[in-house]
Structure 1
């Protein structure tokens, strides 16, 4: 597996020669994620892989994600490079990917999901309950900010940007703790920084968190289809359908988590008011084998109930069912 600068090529999908070129953001986490996909792809196909780093607006800007329009800013440059033929596939953190399909592109594979939980990384081994009043906790996620304000209104929530190492480097300096995705810490070998895992039931995470999405040009699906993990796809699609049906962006203060157990698909979603003062939760389940589109069906029930209960008064939503 090699690393190269993006360059135009005549290679198209599986019909050309040479390595499979995978576009990626240049951050340490993105390179680690894409590297794992590349190794898995080579192991399955025997074809070498070349990583193509691509700069995105989200990486260049120092503005908050909310002001930039959400985490979808990380996806657009990668998609442009894929459509321009600079690479053959791109790898996204699924939680950062807008729910609307992109013309000409297909999510051809969603590998097995990593840990979906959030994690607290605090000074002196502190937990969310034991952080002293007035402690400064950093996160760039509106959802996490709302959750912090709901559970610990006495804390100071600090809007931060930067890669994982930059954020961890502020703990014990100007911050008492940061909240990060456990999956990212796992992929970078930084589990030792975690002082508490935040349980899904009380702290629902971003739809698709912990999962990767491999996107290709329409017609090139076979290039990476062998990496698709069907159970993961079913649960994360249920989570993302909630966002789509509510017409909420991927930076909205919404948590959603699904799982499959004994043939049943369980989905729960929670919408927060950004100041943490209110929230609404809906949970539904169905047997996967009973319906043609289990992910969409269960998400429709959850989204309808949230809207009927007044979720649009808590967060900026455009959904109407």
Structure 2
């Protein structure tokens, strides 16, 4: 019988899909078998907006406790849900290649963002998306929503009850004209047929770390040498440098994942380029800034993020985004 490693995950369809993909890759790389451990988190059982739940880390805390206590060897997170300060005793052992970073509009009648009529109702649970949406189309009505991806899709008129396999059943609420979701989650669930427009970052910068997965272990390792080696091989350097820059900016702004802050880094040749936005929650003010640095190591990427944040703070980003 082959050696088995245990991977912890939240129980949502998206979480289990992401974890299943990552675990399968690691099983193939390591030659080990995998056992999945479902962990219920506070974010899965408490209702209310993300901001009212405490924002950053609400989905990660229970998984991390389980990991520290030895209930699993590895935890898989959506990186954008993780606090920017890494807890003592835990390390992000691998950040695999990133999925699509963009936000996605899922609208009735295949409409794009510019085609939605004045006063259209658009749902999102993200203050970052809401602020940029209000800045771009102040005539729209932005509605705060929660729930898993199929539940949110079911709020759109004509989409109906979307099942985890991508099929659509009877209409559920159908009270909204559109919702905005992460393209990465839609693609991982095989629901990209419901996307009516991928929102360009010039319109809506994504959350720091959006589209990336974080595979977290105890600092001492997983207890499986073959798995530790597989994690090293699974790590994608360019993705790690991008998200390290984005998260360093978020950390320096002293903002969490519920703040109206967007950031996106990209590698172009020998340069790491970081774009960032700070928005007033009502969309009345938007500060966009960009910086670049020679492509280097993780420390250099973090330095780029911190330096851009310092410049934004000097220009009043904290006041613009309501962080002060």
- TM-score for the superposition, normalised by structure 2: 0.90
Alignment-derived partner of residue 192 in structure 2:
191
Task: In structure 2, list runs of 5 or more residues that go unmatched.
Answer: 158-173, 223-227
Deviation at 1:240, TM superposition (A): 0.5
Residues of 2 paired with 1:55 and 1:145: CA distance?
28
Alignment-derived partner of residue 38 in structure 2:
53
Residues of 2 paired with 1:229 and 1:122: CA distance?
34
Residues of 2 paired with 1:270 and 1:192: CA distance?
29
Deviation at 1:62, TM superposition (A): 1.1
User: Is the CA contact (8 Å cut-off) linking 2:132 and 2:203 kept in structure 1?
Assistant: no
1:1-321 paired onto structure 2 within 5 Å: 18-172=3-157, 173-220=174-221, 222=228, 224-289=231-296, 293-317=299-323
Using the TM superposition, name which of 225-234 and 178-187 deviates more: 225-234
Residues of 1 paired with 2:302 and 2:323: CA distance?
18
User: Is the CA contact (8 Å cut-off) linking 2:129 and 2:260 kept in structure 1?
Assistant: yes
Deviations 1:257-294 (A, max 9, x none): 000111100001110000000011211111114x7722
Deviation at 1:47, TM superposition (A): 0.3
Deviations 1:176-220 (A, max 9, x none): 100000000010000100000000122110000000000001110
Deviation at 1:315, TM superposition (A): 2.1
Residues of 2 paired with 1:48 and 1:76: CA distance?
26
Aligned pair count? 301
Using the TM superposition, name which of 291-300 and 229-238 deviates more: 291-300
Residues of 2 paired with 1:144 and 1:314: CA distance?
15
Task: In structure 1, list runs of 5 or more residues that go unmatched.
Answer: 1-16
Residues of 1 paired with 2:203 and 2:271: CA distance?
21
Deviation at 1:38, TM superposition (A): 0.7
Deviation at 1:301, TM superposition (A): 2.1
Residues of 2 paired with 1:72 and 1:145: CA distance?
20
Alignment-derived partner of residue 12 in structure 1:
none
Residues of 2 paired with 1:121 and 1:54: CA distance?
30
Residues of 2 paired with 1:19 and 1:268: CA distance?
42
Using the TM superposition, name which of 253-262 and 146-155 deviates more: 146-155
Deviations 1:94-125 (A, max 9, x none): 00000011111000100000000000000000
Residues of 1 paired with 2:263 and 2:292: CA distance?
13
User: Is the CA contact (8 Å cut-off) linking 1:265 and 1:294 kept in structure 2?
Assistant: no
The change in CA–CA distance for 1:33 and 1:135 in structure 2 (over 3 A counts) is same
Residues of 2 paired with 1:105 and 1:24: CA distance?
16
User: Is the CA contact (8 Å cut-off) linking 1:23 and 1:78 kept in structure 2?
Assistant: yes
Deviations 1:19-60 (A, max 9, x none): 110000000000000000011001101101111110000010
Deviations 1:244-266 (A, max 9, x none): 11111111100000001111000
Residues of 2 paired with 1:281 and 1:158: CA distance?
24
User: Is the CA contact (8 Å cut-off) linking 2:244 and 2:298 kept in structure 1?
Assistant: no
Alignment-derived partner of residue 8 in structure 1:
none
User: Is the CA contact (8 Å cut-off) linking 2:122 and 2:140 kept in structure 1?
Assistant: yes
Residues of 1 paired with 2:51 and 2:306: CA distance?
26
User: Is the CA contact (8 Å cut-off) linking 1:58 and 1:71 kept in structure 2?
Assistant: no
